[in-house]
Amino acid sequence: MVDPTDGFTPVPLHQSNFEVQKPYDVPQNQRYSHINGVHKLWVYSTDKAHTTTSHTASRTEIRIRGYDYSSCVWQYEGHGYVPSGTTGVSIMQVFGATNRATTLMVRFMMVHSPTTEVQC
């Protein structure tokens, strides 16, 4: 059996690599926590965008700084939890495609049963 991490070099992530983007009118501790290595984020459909000038939908997210996916081959590994009844959740997004903003997006959708959608 082949280890899927063969050939990859782990890179350290420090708190300075994490930029939390949350609704501009809500304190960070009401939408994000980092305890014992676990990052938890909350977003509600009534939340505002992360800036007053943004035209995006409700969001709370972590932007990784210092490791841009603009060249080479990268591997991402993470665990996610989406509460029952939730839909349209983006688990991971990589920006920088040639003809559009997104290179990769992993989303959780609730249609008739839970599905994971990968857009490339």
Which 3 state secondary structure label does DSSP give 89? strand
Give the count of domains, the chain.
2
Output the pLDDT for position 8. Answer: 85
Output the pLDDT for position 120. Answer: 42
pTM of the shown model: 0.70
The range of the structural domain enclosing residue 49 comes to 17-67
- The answer on 48 and 26 residing in a single domain is yes
On whether residue 89 sits in a domain, the answer given is yes
Q: Give the span between the Cα atoms of 56 and 68, in whole angstroms.
A: 22
- The answer on 85 and 51 residing in a single domain is no
The single residue listed with the structure tokens 């983006």 is: 90
- The answer on 89 and 53 residing in a single domain is no
- The answer on 86 and 54 residing in a single domain is no
Average pLDDT for runs of 10 along the chain of length 120: 85 88 96 91 90 88 78 72 77 67 66 52
Strands 32-35 and 38-41: antiparallel
Output the pLDDT for position 90. Answer: 75
